[in-house]
Structure 1
Amino acid sequence: MAEPPARREPAPVRHFARIIDIALAALTLVFFVAVALATGVHSPWRGTIPLGLLLGALLLVRHRWPMAVLLLSIGGIFVYHLTGHGSPAGWIWPAAVAYFTAATTPRVRWVAAIGLAQLVYSAVDARWILDRNLTRYLTHVAGEGLLLAILIAAGLTYVAAMRWRERLRETDSRVHAAEERLRVSHEVHDVIAHTLAVVGVQLNVAADSLEEDPAAAAAALRLAKDVRNRAMADLRSLITVLRDNPADTAPQADLASLDTLIADARATGLEVTLNEHGDRAAVPAITAIAIHRVVQESLANTLKHAGASKAEVTIDYQPRSITVEITDDGRNVPGGAEVAEGHGLAGMRERVSALGGALTAGPIAGGGFAVRADIPVAGSTA
């Protein structure tokens, strides 16, 4: 099965990776030459510096061709030794970065096999030490093997960490998508509830006046049709969000559509007053959506349940918080019983709570019902 295409990193990440490669290339050259001079090499330009330059230059393309860089690095080291130059500090470490990089690829078994072959050759090449100093020989062989094991283990650990980070990123993305879909489902409920309330009132008006005032009945039906069309447009947009990418389509509701919302409610015969204090233009988008939905759901509940003739919407825009209050003169709950909280009130409460606010709803003295939401402004400090 073909591997999926690699995800392209952002430009700052690519630039940082390039800086790291240049730094590693420079350190490889400097350290290799320094160790060679410290171990008694007297003519570094005859082999040591050229090999250091080769090893460093190869690291500049290690991400694009990791296995090729490893093989060329090992080839350069073999040529260095076969031409009579002594090893400044072993066989593995000059290609340490190349080994680590290659170990982060799916060909890690080949990397281990190549390293093992190089270790065997290194042990055979250093056999002259065996007769003179057994401890030194064992230290040389064991050290080379331990370094190779550390480099391969580091590469595997790095790959595992990157995969874990990618899984966390995917999980976080799925969580955000689920939260967005839940929020959109609330939007769908609000749109449908408001539309059914307004359309239902208009259909009742049309039915009552069909024989006595056909013109009024026709006007009511036209208004019901307009409200229905707007709701269908909103629903199409919201369903698109549910089906595709939640980030592709922004919610349609905002403070600019408050006037249309109020006009629709007035057209049903409900006398609605809108009082706004402050600048609505300074309200962040996510807060504006919440305000619109609270007003929409409250007016829908008034039309469906309250039997009210008047409603008042008051919105106080402050720099750090916004207060939304909707009151009506509808009938109270008989006997002073508690109000049953349906999907509408629950949805409003969840929406406001998600923004760090609070919502209260209940009967008011003298008759009527009130909904009040206190919503902090996103990005403000208390």
Structure 2
Amino acid sequence: MAESPPRREAVPARHLARITDLALAVLTLVFFVAVALATGVRNPWSGPIPLGLFLGALLLVRRRWPMTVLLLSIGGVIVYHLTGHWSPAGWIWPAAVAYFTAATTPHVRWAAAAGLAQLVYSAIDFRLILDLNPSRYLVHVAGEWLLLAILIVAGRSYAVALRRREQLREADDRARVAEERLRVSHEVHDVIAHTLAVVGVQLNVAADTLEEDPAAAAAALSLAKDVRNRAMADLRSLIAILRDGPEGTAPQADLASLDTLVADARAAGLEVTFEEHGDRAAVTAIPAIAVHRVVQESLANTLKHAEASEVTVTIGYGPRSIVVEITDDGRGASGAGEGTAGHGLAGMRERVSALGGAFTAGPAPGGGFAVRAEIPVAGGSSA
């Protein structure tokens, strides 16, 4: 009969498994010998101790060869009884751990069949007590059957619980991978949207001024090239994450890059007012990335869709949350809510909500469009 191949486990788990098996081996030896002595065995070295050592030694390899250990344990118990040794410990109990272990494998039916065969044999072997003490015979046989049933059911329940835990762990791993890829897709969208908006404006400037002001055209093309190079560096980092996993190189989107975003927007023709309140340096990485992406996506939407000339970016760094507000004097919802802008707003909302924050976007009371994000910081909560 083929044995189940051993599964590779973490080093601490393997050490714990060895300690557990050694403890079970010692307990099997001690209990079996103790029961033998309690029933009047005068020379335990003639039978109980050798059998206890044999059964205990088998338990040290029970995980690798569960069915082999069970069959050898059953054989050892049968030989023990056939050689004239007897104890009220019965036939099933000395091999209890072996039965339980075999029941946790796919060979549980074979384990149950071996147990039934052993019980039939024990019932026949114990038949001499039937005429002398029928009640004792029934209690003995029923107890053996009940013990076997408990061991098989416990082993199957343990195996099902382990399999369920493994399935939950795999599902959790898949969810984390999916969440990471969704995050990367948002990053890609933000990078590309911002890059296309700024580069598009600069290319239009270059095309309009190429003949009349070649120097201005050259400056616009140079800025477009710089923005493009930064975007390519970010995209290479994001692709590395998709290829190598979350441990790969991550794009360095942080609060220090806000000045670059503002400079790009100004170079694209927007009049940008940028105000910060509080301590920027106290913000940790995760909320810093969210702030950066909200500002980046909002400025990209303003450049592409709002037909605005002015935009105000205000960031307040509080002890519990960061409040980001971006307002412009453009067309408002009629432009900013369509096409890729709608996708960008959804991406910002998901990003902020994932951190436990609040996000709103819509027409500003005095005209234009307003975006507001409240992002909790570590140890705080959004109001």
TM range (shorter): 0.7 to 0.9
Structure 1 residues 33-65: Cα deviation after superposition (integer angstroms, max 9, x where no partner): 222222222222332233223323332332223
Residue 74 (structure 1) aligns with? 74
Q: In structure 1, how many angstroms separate the alpha carbons of the residues matched to 2:262 and 2:176?
A: 33
How much has 1:25 moved relative to structure 2? 2.5
1:239-318 to structure 2, matched below 5 A, reads 239=239, 241-242=241-242, 245=245, 248=248, 250-318=250-318
Residue 172 (structure 1) aligns with? 172
Pick closer, same or farther for the CA change 1:8–1:281 going to 2, 3 Å.
Answer: farther
How much has 1:250 moved relative to structure 2? 3.5
1:1-382 to structure 2, matched below 5 A, reads 8-239=8-239, 241-242=241-242, 245=245, 248=248, 250-328=250-328, 330-331=329-330, 333=332, 340=337, 342-364=342-364, 368-380=368-380
How much has 1:273 moved relative to structure 2? 4.2
Pick closer, same or farther for the CA change 1:198–1:339 going to 2, 3 Å.
Answer: closer
How much has 1:158 moved relative to structure 2? 1.6
Compare 365-374 and 69-78 and name the one that shifted more.
365-374
Pick closer, same or farther for the CA change 1:3–1:297 going to 2, 3 Å.
Answer: farther
Q: In structure 1, how many angstroms separate the alpha carbons of the residues matched to 2:360 and 2:76?
A: 77
Alignment check: 8 A CA contact 1:275 1:314 kept: yes
Q: In structure 2, how many angstroms separate the alpha carbons of the residues matched to 1:114 and 1:45?
A: 28
The normalised TM-score by structure 1 is 0.86
Q: In structure 1, how many angstroms separate the alpha carbons of the residues matched to 2:170 and 2:63?
A: 24
Alignment check: 8 A CA contact 1:355 1:378 kept: no
The amino acid that maps onto 2:220 is: A
Other structure's SS at 1:322 match = strand
How much has 1:208 moved relative to structure 2? 1.1
Pick closer, same or farther for the CA change 1:345–1:3 going to 2, 3 Å.
Answer: farther
How much has 1:207 moved relative to structure 2? 0.7
Q: In structure 2, how many angstroms separate the alpha carbons of the residues matched to 1:238 and 1:310?
A: 32
Pick closer, same or farther for the CA change 1:360–1:113 going to 2, 3 Å.
Answer: closer
The amino acid that maps onto 1:169 is: R
Other structure's SS at 1:40 match = coil
Structure 1 residue ranges (4+ consecutive) displaced by more than 6 angstroms after TM superposition? 2-5
Q: In structure 1, how many angstroms separate the alpha carbons of the residues matched to 2:250 and 2:79?
A: 63
Q: In structure 2, how many angstroms separate the alpha carbons of the residues matched to 1:196 and 1:41?
A: 90
Other structure's SS at 1:86 match = coil
How much has 1:93 moved relative to structure 2? 0.6
The amino acid that maps onto 2:61 is: V
Alignment check: 8 A CA contact 2:308 2:331 kept: no
Other structure's SS at 2:314 match = strand
% same residue:
79
How much has 1:310 moved relative to structure 2? 3.9
How much has 1:143 moved relative to structure 2? 2.5
Structure 1 residues 337-371: Cα deviation after superposition (integer angstroms, max 9, x where no partner): 89747222232222212212112334556655432
How much has 1:94 moved relative to structure 2? 0.6
Structure 1 residues 116-168: Cα deviation after superposition (integer angstroms, max 9, x where no partner): 33223322322322332333333333332332232122222222222222222
Alignment check: 8 A CA contact 2:307 2:331 kept: no
How much has 1:322 moved relative to structure 2? 1.1
For the aligned residues, what is the CA RMSD?
A: 3.0
Alignment check: 8 A CA contact 2:3 2:67 kept: no
Aligned length: 378
Q: In structure 2, how many angstroms separate the alpha carbons of the residues matched to 1:123 and 1:276?
A: 86
The amino acid that maps onto 1:143 is: G
The amino acid that maps onto 2:214 is: P
How much has 1:91 moved relative to structure 2? 0.8
Structure 1 residues 234-280: Cα deviation after superposition (integer angstroms, max 9, x where no partner): 33443554566456454542223323322322322334344333443
Q: Which runs of 5+ in 1 are unaligned?
A: none
Pick closer, same or farther for the CA change 1:200–1:126 going to 2, 3 Å.
Answer: same
Alignment check: 8 A CA contact 2:327 2:371 kept: yes
Q: In structure 1, how many angstroms separate the alpha carbons of the residues matched to 2:51 and 2:299?
A: 80
Pick closer, same or farther for the CA change 1:99–1:3 going to 2, 3 Å.
Answer: closer
Compare 317-326 and 50-59 and name the one that shifted more.
50-59
